[in-house]
Structures are given as structure tokens and as C-alpha cells.
Amino acid sequence: MATEEHGAESGGLVFHPMDQFIVKPMFGDGPVAWYTVTNVTLWMALAVVCVLLMFVLATSRRRIVPGRFQSVAELGYGFIYKMVEDIAGKDGVKYFPYIMTLFLFIVFANFLGLLPMAFTTTSHIAVTAVLAMGVFLTVTILGFVLHGASFLKLFWVSAAPLPIRPVLAVIELISYFARPVSHSIRLAGNMMAGHAVIKVFAGFAALAAISPFAILAITAMYGLEILVSFIQAYVFTILTCVYLKDALHPHH
């Protein structure tokens, strides 16, 4: 909404690629308090609706021979279940609902964000940082609860020669704490960059001479973004599984 009016205000070639990320209240103008119903609320609620449709409504008939939507739900279930089982191991399966929650939230938020005029909740560092910190803290606490102090052996690479082990330990420690940072910035950065680029091309489309190229570029970017939306959800989930594996089996 804000973007359109900007274009109207100034006319000509105006870029406001970041306006789509503005958090604003759904009703009225007031300041954004923690409880305010904003566009964040709307698009997260839509993600919940999608989960309900795809995983509750589509499977409600419990058919032995599944229909299309039930097939998709079963495929998604099998996809994540197998990922958890393969990477985190048999004992990681009990954390499957948490990982499924993360995956479905990210994948639906990403895809909903591709709708025109949509707001992409996963393009905000606040959202992805909470997701990543949640994974980081859970995994770290889980590691210490399950293994006590021996969880620290994760940083002590026993396969390496003794003299370089302290050096490796420092590196491992740094990389361990860099995990939530890269985990969150990767997702938010990818989503934000893609949407901003599409918006920039959309700005170029206002010029008649290059508008065909701009529209072609938007189409191409859109295709790429569909791929990226899924891949980023996949990457986030698979990294969560890898971190979970470290917590469950820290001894390499």
C-alpha cells in the first residue's frame, strides 16, 4: 500500500524496494506495541491457515489411497521425518514435531511472501533470529542435559594430533557461536534480497523502453525465488537436524 502511494507521489522512476518490509498495524495508525495486530500477525496467521488446510483438512478423510492434497501432506511428513531420522539418528525422531513446526512455518511464510502485495515474515531478522536462537539454545541445553560436561568434547577434536587440538577447539568454539548468526542471516538475507531485487525490477518496469526486459527479469527472479523459498526452508531445517545431531551425539 505504502509503495503504491510513493510511486504516485513522486512519479517517474522511483525505487522503494524496502517498503514492502515495513511492519505496520492492520487497524489504525498507532505505534507498534508488542501486542498490536500488524501485517506480521496477518501473514503468520495465514501460514497457520495453510498448515491447517494442508495437514489437517487434507488428511481428514484418512484415505488409504490418498488424494492429491493428502499425498502432499504425506510427502512433507515423510520428507522431514526421513531427514530427521537420517541426520539426527533414531533418537532424534522424538524431536520431529519441533523440526516439522520450524520447516512448515518457514516454507509457508516464504511461499506466502511470494504472493503479490504480500509481507514476508521470514525476511525479518527479528523473526529468523528468534528461530535460530531457539534452535541454538535448545540444542545447547539439550547437549548439556544429555551429556553433562562431556558435551564439551564436541570442541575437542580427538581425531586431530594433540598439539593442534587447542587451536581447533578455539575454532570450533567460534564456529559454534557463529551458527545462530549464519543460520538466521542466511534465511532473512535470502528472502529480503530476492524480494528487494524483484521490487527494483518492478521500478524499472515503469519505463516503457525497458519494461519488457524488466518484466522478463521479474519473471525469472520470481522463478528463482520459488526455488530459493523452498531451498532456504530446507537448508534451515537440515542445519537444525545437524545441530541436533551434535547435541545427541557430540563425540563425532
Partner 1 sequence: MATETHEVVDAAAPGMPQLDFSTFPNQIFWLVVTLVVIYLILSRVALPRIADILAERQGKITHDLAAAEDLKLKAVEAEQAYEKALAEARAEANRIVGLAKDEIKADLDAAIAVADAEIAAKMAESEQAIAEIRANAVTSIAEVARSTAVELANTLAPGIADEAAVLAAVETRLKG
Q: Which residues make up the interface to partner 1 (CB under 8 A)? A: 1-2, 4-6, 9, 18-19, 21-25, 29, 31-36, 38, 40-41, 44-45, 47-48, 51-52, 55-56, 59, 62-64, 66, 70, 73-74, 77-78, 96-98, 100-102, 104-105, 121, 123-127, 130-131, 188, 192
Q: Which residues contact 251 (CB under 8 A, 6 or more apart)?
A: 150, 153, 154, 158
The alpha carbon dihedral of 202, 203, 206, 209 has a sign of: negative
Least distance in angstroms from the C-beta of 227 to partner 1: 23
Least distance in angstroms from the C-beta of 141 to partner 1: 17
Q: Which residues contact 233 (CB under 8 A, 6 or more apart)?
A: 103, 106, 107, 110
Q: Which residues contact 237 (CB under 8 A, 6 or more apart)?
A: 80, 83, 99, 102, 103, 106
Nearer to partner 1 (CB atom), residue 32 or residue 181 = 32
Nearer to partner 1 (CB atom), residue 110 or residue 121 = 121
Other C-beta atoms closer than 10 Å to the C-beta of 180 total 21
Least distance in angstroms from the C-beta of 243 to partner 1: 17
Nearer to partner 1 (CB atom), residue 97 or residue 212 = 97
Least distance in angstroms from the C-beta of 71 to partner 1: 11
Nearer to partner 1 (CB atom), residue 64 or residue 209 = 64
Least distance in angstroms from the C-beta of 96 to partner 1: 8
Least distance in angstroms from the C-beta of 157 to partner 1: 34
Nearer to partner 1 (CB atom), residue 101 or residue 150 = 101
Nearer to partner 1 (CB atom), residue 69 or residue 176 = 69
How many angstroms separate the CA atoms of 43 and 116, rounded?
13
Point out which residues pair with 38 in neighbouring strands: 25
How many angstroms separate the CA atoms of 154 and 131, rounded?
23
How many angstroms separate the CA atoms of 20 and 252, rounded?
44
Nearer to partner 1 (CB atom), residue 37 or residue 171 = 37
Would you mind telling me the total number of residues written for the chain in this entry?
252
Distances (CA, A) of 56 to 59, 91, 97, 119, 238: 5, 26, 15, 25, 24
Least distance in angstroms from the C-beta of 188 to partner 1: 7
List the one residue out of 125, 129, 155, 122 whose CA is nearest residue 140: 155
